Structure 1
Amino acid sequence: MAFGVNNITVLGNITRDPELRFTPSGTAVANFGLAVNRNVQNKNSGEWETQVDFFNVTAWYKLAENCAESLSKGDRVLVSGRLSQDSWESKDGQKRSTVKIIANVIAPSLEFASCRLEKNPRAEEGVSSGSVSGEGVSGGSVSGEGKSGKGGIEEADFSDEDIPF
């Protein structure tokens, strides 16, 4: 059996604040809307026109919590993930479906603003994973905290000046 490829990456603006909720088992899930502009040429006039595609985006686990804490309506973000189709039957018996993006990466666009990257320690592994919080047009920085990782390897403390990028 041949396998297909289901990857999508879009850059757009958040249309509604991420809504964070939890499943009965305690798993975090966040949903928000994303508007993606694209330019198409009008066949009659030859003029370029902007068209907008709207997507629903779902994030799970820590990514969901970070989205709800860090992102808001109007933020420009890059979303990478896969497409998923939900199907249901309406009250009047009509079959309905919608396609949404299940995100595995969500990152702010630094095209018009900067942000501050804060590392969140993973409780079980002693390893840091990134969380992004928007800071408008403030200076960006990356901070690291020394923690003992698995196998007795210690992570080094470093400052913003030590980072080559």
Structure 2
Amino acid sequence: MAGETTITIIGNLTDAPDLRYAKGSGVAIARFTVASTARTFDKASGGWRDGDPLFLTCTAWRDLAEHASESLTKGARVIVTGRLRLSRWETPDGQKRSMVQLDVDEVGPSLRFATATVKKLTRTTGGIDTPQADDPWSTATATRDTAPATGDGDPFTADGGGFSDDEPPF
């Protein structure tokens, strides 16, 4: 949306995402805190020094909340993109409080110091489903109607790789 402050933060989860469901609507909500600490080079000592840590509370909604809860664990290094939101409230004793939070648009593991295996989900059931054979991102072995009938599949070979001349090879 226009006028919203979008940021990206990279850091470590201080705990596993806390997944809950809203009363009444049943919408999934995951809350987690990302700790990000800047490192600077101190010329005087010739070494690296940690700066002040930033702890940012993040909220993910619906499918993203469930996926984050299933995929991320305490200590995981993550990359989170979202919109800043300022929450204001008053305590029972009359004190005014405020807190900056991040409404998460995207979250994923950082691959700088780790590896990850991605499982694409289908939207048919809203959960993990059988990978689609015609999905190029799927982990399933794909067989397609357009697979070459002859040759090695190279459309630039003499036999055209099994493709007809009136169709492009893609």
Identify, as 1 or 2, the structure richer in strand: 1
Q: Aligned-pair distance for 1:90? A: 1.2
Give the residue type in structure 2 aligned to 1:91.
P
Secondary structure in 2 matching 1:120? coil
Aligned equivalent of 2:131, options 130, 134, 145: 145
Give the residue type in structure 2 aligned to 1:145.
P
**Distance 1:5-1:86 versus aligned 2 partners, 3 A rule:** closer
Query: Which residue of structure 2 lines up, in the alignment, with residue 27 of structure 1?
Result: 27
Q: Aligned-pair distance for 1:5? A: 4.4
Query: Which residue of structure 2 lines up, in the alignment, with residue 15 of structure 1?
Result: 14
Secondary structure in 2 matching 1:118? coil
In the aligned structure 2, how far is the partner of 1:47 from the partner of 1:94? 43
Structure 1: 5+ residue stretches without partners:
132-143, 148-153
Number of residue-to-residue matches in the alignment: 138
In the aligned structure 2, how far is the partner of 1:157 from the partner of 1:16? 30
**Distance 1:50-1:160 versus aligned 2 partners, 3 A rule:** farther
In the aligned structure 1, how far is the partner of 2:105 from the partner of 2:77? 17
Give the residue type in structure 2 aligned to 1:13.
N
**Distance 1:93-1:159 versus aligned 2 partners, 3 A rule:** closer
Q: Aligned-pair distance for 1:37? A: 1.2
In the aligned structure 1, how far is the partner of 2:98 from the partner of 2:59? 16
2:120 touches 2:137 (CA, 8 Å); kept in 1? no
Query: Which residue of structure 1 lines up, in the alignment, with residue 158 of structure 2?
Result: none
Aligned-residue RMSD, C-alpha? 3.1
In the aligned structure 2, how far is the partner of 1:108 from the partner of 1:37? 17
1:58 touches 1:102 (CA, 8 Å); kept in 2? yes
Query: Which residue of structure 1 lines up, in the alignment, with residue 153 of structure 2?
Result: none
Q: Equivalent residues in 2 for 1:1-165 (5 A)?
A: 4-24=3-23, 25-40=25-40, 49-51=49-51, 52-123=53-124, 145-146=131-132, 155=135
- After TM superposition, which residue ranges in structure 1, 4 or more long, deviate above 3 angstroms? 44-48, 154-162
Q: Aligned-pair distance for 1:94? A: 0.6
In the aligned structure 2, how far is the partner of 1:77 from the partner of 1:118? 17
Secondary structure in 2 matching 1:91? coil
1:59 touches 1:102 (CA, 8 Å); kept in 2? yes
Give the residue type in structure 1 aligned to 2:29.
V
Give the residue type in structure 2 aligned to 1:85.
L
In the aligned structure 2, how far is the partner of 1:81 from the partner of 1:70? 18
**Distance 1:78-1:32 versus aligned 2 partners, 3 A rule:** same
Structure 2: 5+ residue stretches without partners:
143-170
Give aligned-pair identity as a percent.
38
Q: Aligned-pair distance for 1:146? A: 2.1
